[in-house]
Amino acid sequence: MAIPLEHTLIFSGVLFALGFLGLLTRRNLIFIFLSLEVMLNAVAYAFVAVSSYFGHASGQIMFLIILSMAAAEVAVGLALVLQFERRFKTLDIDVAHHMKG
Asked if residue 101 belongs to a domain, the reply is: no
Sequence-distant (6+) residues with CB within 8 A of 51 are 57, 58, 59, 60, 62
DSSP 15: H
Among residues 31, 40, 87, the alpha carbon closest in space to that of 64 is found at 40
Residues 55-88 have pLDDT tens digits of: 889 988 999 999 999 889 889 988 988 988 888 8
Asked if residue 4 belongs to a domain, the reply is: no
Percentage of the chain modeled with pLDDT above 70? 97
Query: CA 82 to CA 90: how far, in whole Å?
Result: 10
Q: Is the dihedral of CA 10, 16, 19, 23 positive or negative?
A: negative
Asked if residue 99 belongs to a domain, the reply is: no
Query: Can you name the residues that pair with 28 across neighbouring β-strands?
Result: 92
Asked if residue 95 belongs to a domain, the reply is: no
Q: What is the CATH number of the domain that holds 15?
A: 1.10.287.3510
Query: CA 34 to CA 62: how far, in whole Å?
Result: 20
Asked if residue 32 belongs to a domain, the reply is: yes
Tell me what pLDDT residue 101 has.
58
Domain that holds residue 82: 10-88
Domain count of the fold of the chain:
1
Asked if residue 54 belongs to a domain, the reply is: yes
Residues 21-33 have pLDDT tens digits of: 999 998 888 898 8
